[in-house]
Structure 1
Amino acid sequence: MRPSLLDPLFTPVSRLPGIGPRTARTLGGLFGKDAEREPTVSDLLFHLPSGTIDRRLRPGIAHAPEGAIVTLEVRIDRHQAPPRGSRAPYRILAHDDTGTITFVFFHARGPFLEKSYPVGEDMIVSGRIEHFNDQIQMVHPDHAVLADDADDLPLVEPVYPLTQGLSSKMLQKAMAAALDLVPDLPDWLDPAMERQKAWPAFSDALHAMHQPSPESPEAGDPEALARLSYDEFLANQLALALVRRSMRQTRGIARHFTGTLKQKMLDALPYSLTEGQAKAVAEIEADLAAPTRMLRLLQGDVGAGKTVVGLMAVAAAVESGAQAVMMAPTEILARQHYLSLAPLCEAASIRIAVLTGKDGAKSRRETRAALEAGDIDLIVGTHALFQGDIAFANLGLAIVDEQHRFGVHQRLQLSSKGAGVDMLVMTATPIPRTLVLTYFGDMDVSRLTEKPAGRQPIKTVTVPLERMDEVVERLRRALDEGTKAYWVCPLVEESEKSDLAAAEERFEVLTQVFGPRVALVHGRMSAEEKASAMASFKDGDVGLLVATTVIEVGVDVPAATIMVIEHAERFGLSQLHQLRGRVGRGSEASTCLLLYKAPVGETARARLSIMRDTNDGFLIAEEDLRLRGEGEILGTRQSGMPGFRIGDAATHADLIEMARDDARLVLERDPDLTSERGRALRVLLYLFARDEAVRLLRAG
């Protein structure tokens, strides 16, 4: 149960003054909450300002610089209402000792303004100065109060990220009410760290961020931000440490295997494992042989051969008498894993099957029955595999591909399908070390950094869209020579439909040029349509595959050596790198053409030049973190994984390290969080919605 102390912070925002159900929904959208759950007071308080406005400049009307935000003490002279039916603005004229000014209002309500700006009164008015026809004016002042109420005017005002339907004033009013609800919370910081850092208390830090002081108007209070960021990181690291401990404590099984099945697979491979692959296999086998549960992250750059390493783990598990499951994020990838693994499984007599959400009822029924009877050794599929009604005879190993699409609770759910299930998580998104700590702190890590033998680096070229005709002509020559190529259409921000429309349009144009040698793949096709298009591209007459980003992960066609990415400036670095990794998978030299629409912004230009300069996915990931922040890289914006509301992994990497060490030490000294600090840390876990971790505590 959540401590009652926190109840005020988990009150729905609609209880705050000025926020009705409609505004609450708008706020939910702004905070990235799902539509079912109304945001709470804590969600609002964790929506920090992006900057501040300094209103302390009081130069007098005549000396007010154009474009500056100033605060003026004026006397209201007269109102000038526009003629009825006119579109002219409403004007209020005022003066001070230095000159005169006009306050301008469009679509104004006269009676309201007459009441707000009474003629003959002295007022304090704040806003941005403009010069129009040699007159000084202020359009829609931000604040206006009677001179007697000058104390009500904020000297330094926070600026919040907003969305349509929300005004700054509305948000500030709600925020002031929310701050009044913050209770006195027990301090969860380590006393030694508290003395060393001299950070403000949690509640004081929140007040400092939302009510910035005139002493540090530029960026808010850096000490307050560090304190709140650390609290959020500590909640996250403690939750990960508890998950790790829970999985380690749930008794593992020491698996016995001789390596016979692995050797059969190695003999069937057309190449030998790289040094990195062999090392990763050895680490995994050591984990499987130990009596504790394996929880390992296998990081490999695009095309580094993670799937083969995963299959060697399957060989060990199956040889020990257990079943294995390999879970992929998309149908395309699940079916492709199945097709590429089947020949190697056959060589080692491992019985493999595939199961996805789109299979027919009869086929699903038969596969599930075989799985439950133990007639399948390895099942490959999508997240449909861990839904309630799927049962295994003896699940021993779960392999999750593209981990960042699956949160902590999904990995707990999947591993609960058997006794002491070992877990291997694979990702082709090279993740900077900081983020490995942040999201996978509960795992041991193996890294594959080299490409399998015989693969050549991919040459990357940037080409302006105006030269598309040359690109098409070059493609024609390549297709005539039997080359296969991808053409990826842009991610269009407005909607999925436009993304799809762009692909369909490009498909039609290229079909007119190349005839039936072109196929189309997008996310709205049925599994059969996608599989058929992919098969024609891999083994048939189709030479050019036009696609949306549905082909981003795991599609493996060694004969494809050209990748064209249209409007490359709209993609993030990691995504460009993933897409580029669809070529260069055979022994032929490959090329990636990044088509961009000039002029491009500074960040997009930096992305394109990094792509041109390097094929190193880990270097690219570090740059991506610097350019974009962690939420975009890991896909947390879409996946429901816990992104950070306050802390920023790129800026506060040192705090994540500290939080990780702190969490580890806490659990060594106070494993059940029953000490005074331990109880305070339980409050912290609830505060940052890491409740699942609290349930893992033996005592509570």
Structure 2
Amino acid sequence: MRSSELNKLFSNISTLSGIGPALSKKYLKIIQNETDILEPRIIDILWHFPHKIVDRRLSSSIKDATSNEIFTFKVQVKQHLFPRRKGLPHRVIVFDDSSELDLVFFVSNSYIKQLLPLDAIRYISGKVDFYTSKAQMTHPDFILTEDQYSRIKPFQPVYRLTKGITNNNVVRLLNNIFNHVDDLPEWHDQKLLDEMGWKGIIDSFKDIHIPKSLDSLNSNSKAIERLSFDEILVRQLSLSYLRSVRVKTKGISLISTKDINKDIIKKINFNLTDSQCSAIEQISNDMEKPHQMFRLLQGDVGSGKTLVAIICMIKAVNAGYQAALMAPTELLARQHFETIDKLTEDMDINISYISGKENQENRLKVEEELYSGKIDIVIGTHILFQNNIIFKKLGFIVIDEQHRFGVNQRLALQSKSQTGNCDLLLMTATPIPRTLIQTQYGDIDTTKLEKIPGRKDIKTTIIPDSKIDNLIIRLSEIINLKNKIYWVCPQIEDTENNITSVITRYNYLNNIFKNNVSLAHGKMPIANRLKEIERFYNSETQILVATTVIEVGIDVPDANIIIIENANKFGLTQLHQLRGRVGRNSDESYCMLMYNENINEIAASRLNIIRNSNDGFDISEQDLNLRGSGDIIGIKQSGFIGFKVADTENIIKYQKYSKILSDQIIKDMDSNDLNKFRYKILFELYGKTDFKFIIA
């Protein structure tokens, strides 16, 4: 049940005067990208921050104006220049003590004459540009008398709008809201607020929507700092609670026979790197401890993560428990199954595979054998955390490509163990920002695998798509040398967005390199897709044109070149994963990133990051700075989805203190009903109901 103090904030905006059902629907369109609610509430409008602030203070003089900037001038009307023919603008010459300015209009002459009578003094504001070296302003944002200008706020918030809603509509609505709502009970001690220079929560919202300076939206403004800290604290409280549960609850000690790791390594007949041996020892030590292991195994593609995980799963089986490996795709899960099955063929271990596309008879058989304990290791997809999958004695879980799964999915799988606290090993080639942030918070222990000795860095180049003809000539030479090439496109079929589809590119290349091109995408029947990939693997073809279905689970050691078309459409994690399809032997490997020459600054930054780095952690850190940390608790990854306010700067600034504070709050929660009440309001304000049991 919601705290009564929040009733006004969470009421529909239609409860305010002047907002009817039709207008309410229009406001819903504005906030739909920020929330999944069906009716706009007052709190949703408060969270709809301006995207910029415009300075409407009086500028010094027309003479000092610069191009493409907004200025506000006090001017006198000198002359009207009426258009000589239809289609030409109406120009009004105005002046101040320093120079003249042309006002340009494409509206009725009579309206302009009424708005700007000769010799009248007016205050005008808008963007200045220059035409034949003379300053001009086309359709000023406002033209006001002195009395009208005196009532204008010097710093104007500018909002993202929709048809039927003006910026003034939003400003008036917010003024109405601030007259309607009361401040909330404070959850922070007054000492903290005084030390930080922070106001109450409603006053902080007010400082953002009624700005007192151009810096009001900056991450270091007091209002943004306050709201960011609270948002970070909400997430840290959730993580602190999970940590406290993990520490209090007895885990599973996976103690196996002496020297089991050496025996396993000897049986699988693999030469491990020093880094792999160190990782196995580190993970094994964690597995034997009485509390739950929660560890991230990070290593670039080809560093040997899977082998480390297999050895640890066998160790868990030797200790008398079952192990599960969950992969995001059937292709990757099937590949893991075949690898593990082959490596353990001389061991007394029962391995099985399960997916949502298995026939019912096979699936039921696997379910029965998991329940009875006959299966020691199971490999599968998302089906593993479904309710009908029940283990007899699950003790160890491996989640591959962990960025594809959310915390709630991980908890669902963990809950299938006897205690709900079996050991968990996450694997990834590129830890996405969410995981990086959790690592910094101390919520995940990390083991990093170094690159296998002898492997060379992949040489990455950036090529404009206008150079495709030159690239095709190079491909002909490469194919004659018996090399294999991946060619990746971002979409399956052509649309109107000028992005070349995988089918169009396949037809184009197949016309040049007759019968030497394979095709793989997600809409193909999986049997057909696997057959095409197999043709490429067996060297029946030398080019595989594909979508991101090859991002994981494809291992063709003699493929040394990957071309990623419209690379500016991919995120850093995907680009790094795709590049990892090559470089799987000791030969030189190449990644070519093709881009549209009209790409924006952020997309260009992504391409430069990939070109300049082969290190997954380095790429992830730069990704964090570029786009934020994503939703720590959920599965959303892009931008600051999941974070309403906090950016990287404030996350890094406040993470340590928020962790200390949240640990103390959780510690005191059971004996302090006031704390529960205070922080219940905080959780509800930020819409974080997924951890409501903390303050229930």
Q: Same fold (TM over 0.5)?
A: yes
CA contact (8 A) 1:405 1:635 kept: no
Amino acid at match of 2:311: M
Amino acid at match of 1:513: I
User: Offset of 1:75 from its aligned partner?
Assistant: 8.6
Amino acid at match of 1:168: N
Q: TM-score, normalised by structure 1?
A: 0.84
What residue is the counterpart of 2:265 in the other structure? 266
Q: Which region of structure 1 is more displaced relative to structure 2, 225-234 or 207-216?
A: 207-216
For residues 402-417 of structure 1, the aligned pairs below 5 Å read 402-417=401-416
User: Offset of 1:450 from its aligned partner?
Assistant: 0.4
CA contact (8 A) 2:286 2:293 kept: yes
SS at match of 1:586: coil
CA contact (8 A) 2:631 2:641 kept: no
| Distance in 1 of aligned mates of 2:680 and 2:659 | 16
C-alpha change, 1:506 and 1:150, in structure 2 (3 Å) is same
Amino acid at match of 1:353: S
For residues 418-567 of structure 1, the aligned pairs below 5 Å read 418-421=417-420, 422-431=422-431, 436-438=436-438, 441=441, 443-490=443-490, 502-539=501-538, 541-567=540-566
C-alpha change, 1:679 and 1:299, in structure 2 (3 Å) is farther
User: Offset of 1:656 from its aligned partner?
Assistant: 1.8
Deviations along 1:608-662, one digit per CA (max 9) or x if unpaired, are 4443443222222222333333349999656899631211125541212221222
Q: Which region of structure 1 is more displaced relative to structure 2, 605-614 or 310-319?
A: 605-614
User: Offset of 1:523 from its aligned partner?
Assistant: 2.6
| Distance in 2 of aligned mates of 1:675 and 1:383 | 39
User: Offset of 1:100 from its aligned partner?
Assistant: 8.9
User: Offset of 1:213 from its aligned partner?
Assistant: 0.6
SS at match of 1:127: strand
Deviations along 1:333-370, one digit per CA (max 9) or x if unpaired, are 22222233221233433322322333334443333333
What residue is the counterpart of 1:211 in the other structure? 210
SS at match of 1:626: helix
CA contact (8 A) 1:405 1:639 kept: no
SS at match of 2:5: helix
SS at match of 2:691: helix
C-alpha change, 1:326 and 1:432, in structure 2 (3 Å) is closer
Q: CA RMSD, aligned part only?
A: 4.2
Structure 1 position 329 matched with structure 2 position 332 = no
Select the residue among 690, 694, 699 that pairs with 2:692. 694
| Distance in 1 of aligned mates of 2:267 and 2:192 | 56
| Distance in 1 of aligned mates of 2:245 and 2:118 | 71
What residue is the counterpart of 2:48 in the other structure? 47
| Distance in 1 of aligned mates of 2:243 and 2:559 | 41
For residues 363-378 of structure 1, the aligned pairs below 5 Å read 363-378=362-377
SS at match of 2:446: strand
Deviations along 1:387-427, one digit per CA (max 9) or x if unpaired, are 23333333322322222332222222222223224242424
For residues 337-352 of structure 1, the aligned pairs below 5 Å read 337-352=336-351
| Distance in 2 of aligned mates of 1:505 and 1:377 | 46
| Distance in 2 of aligned mates of 1:511 and 1:265 | 46
What residue is the counterpart of 1:628 in the other structure? 627
- % identical aligned pairs: 34
| Distance in 1 of aligned mates of 2:109 and 2:12 | 33
| Distance in 2 of aligned mates of 1:416 and 1:239 | 18
Q: Which region of structure 1 is more displaced relative to structure 2, 588-597 or 123-132?
A: 123-132
Amino acid at match of 2:52: G
| Distance in 2 of aligned mates of 1:535 and 1:414 | 33
| Distance in 1 of aligned mates of 2:363 and 2:601 | 50
Structure 1 position 655 matched with structure 2 position 658 = no
Amino acid at match of 1:455: R
Q: Which region of structure 1 is more displaced relative to structure 2, 197-206 or 237-246?
A: 197-206
| Distance in 2 of aligned mates of 1:678 and 1:108 | 63
User: Offset of 1:29 from its aligned partner?
Assistant: 3.7
CA contact (8 A) 1:400 1:426 kept: yes
SS at match of 2:301: coil
Structure 1 position 276 matched with structure 2 position 275 = yes
User: Offset of 1:548 from its aligned partner?
Assistant: 1.6
What residue is the counterpart of 1:30 in the other structure? 33
CA contact (8 A) 1:561 1:583 kept: yes
CA contact (8 A) 1:71 1:127 kept: yes
Q: Which region of structure 1 is more displaced relative to structure 2, 234-243 or 130-139?
A: 130-139
| Distance in 2 of aligned mates of 1:478 and 1:442 | 47
Q: Which region of structure 1 is more displaced relative to structure 2, 317-326 or 603-612?
A: 603-612
What residue is the counterpart of 1:10 in the other structure? 10
Aligned length: 691
User: Offset of 1:86 from its aligned partner?
Assistant: 7.0
| Distance in 2 of aligned mates of 1:523 and 1:467 | 28
CA contact (8 A) 1:558 1:583 kept: yes
CA contact (8 A) 2:323 2:377 kept: yes
SS at match of 1:336: helix
User: Offset of 1:242 from its aligned partner?
Assistant: 0.9
What residue is the counterpart of 1:69 in the other structure? 70
CA contact (8 A) 1:460 1:594 kept: yes
C-alpha change, 1:624 and 1:485, in structure 2 (3 Å) is same
What residue is the counterpart of 2:198 in the other structure? 199
| Distance in 1 of aligned mates of 2:511 and 2:445 | 49
Deviations along 1:72-94, one digit per CA (max 9) or x if unpaired, are 567999999999x97677x6969
User: Offset of 1:490 from its aligned partner?
Assistant: 4.2
| Distance in 2 of aligned mates of 1:466 and 1:95 | 48
Structure 1 position 227 matched with structure 2 position 226 = yes
User: Offset of 1:254 from its aligned partner?
Assistant: 2.6
Q: Which region of structure 1 is more displaced relative to structure 2, 303-312 or 461-470?
A: 461-470
SS at match of 1:188: coil
C-alpha change, 1:37 and 1:302, in structure 2 (3 Å) is farther
Q: Which region of structure 1 is more displaced relative to structure 2, 472-481 or 382-391?
A: 472-481
SS at match of 1:158: strand
CA contact (8 A) 1:265 1:345 kept: no
For residues 675-686 of structure 1, the aligned pairs below 5 Å read 676-677=674-675, 679-686=677-684
SS at match of 1:297: strand
User: Offset of 1:56 from its aligned partner?
Assistant: 0.5
C-alpha change, 1:456 and 1:102, in structure 2 (3 Å) is closer
Is there any run of 5+ residues in structure 1 with no aligned partner, and where? none
For residues 233-252 of structure 1, the aligned pairs below 5 Å read 233-252=232-251
What residue is the counterpart of 1:186 in the other structure? 185
Is there any run of 5+ residues in structure 2 with no aligned partner, and where? none
| Distance in 2 of aligned mates of 1:469 and 1:58 | 53
CA contact (8 A) 1:261 1:315 kept: no
C-alpha change, 1:687 and 1:302, in structure 2 (3 Å) is farther
C-alpha change, 1:45 and 1:546, in structure 2 (3 Å) is same
C-alpha change, 1:97 and 1:607, in structure 2 (3 Å) is closer
What residue is the counterpart of 2:301 in the other structure? 302
C-alpha change, 1:290 and 1:652, in structure 2 (3 Å) is closer
CA contact (8 A) 2:305 2:449 kept: no
CA contact (8 A) 2:75 2:122 kept: yes
SS at match of 1:10: coil
Q: TM-score, normalised by structure 2?
A: 0.85
SS at match of 2:544: strand
| Distance in 1 of aligned mates of 2:633 and 2:693 | 26
SS at match of 2:323: strand
CA contact (8 A) 1:298 1:424 kept: no
Deviations along 1:23-54, one digit per CA (max 9) or x if unpaired, are 244224432x34x6445433432333333110
User: Offset of 1:216 from its aligned partner?
Assistant: 4.9
CA contact (8 A) 2:298 2:446 kept: yes
SS at match of 2:505: helix
| Distance in 2 of aligned mates of 1:2 and 1:311 | 47
User: Offset of 1:233 from its aligned partner?
Assistant: 0.8
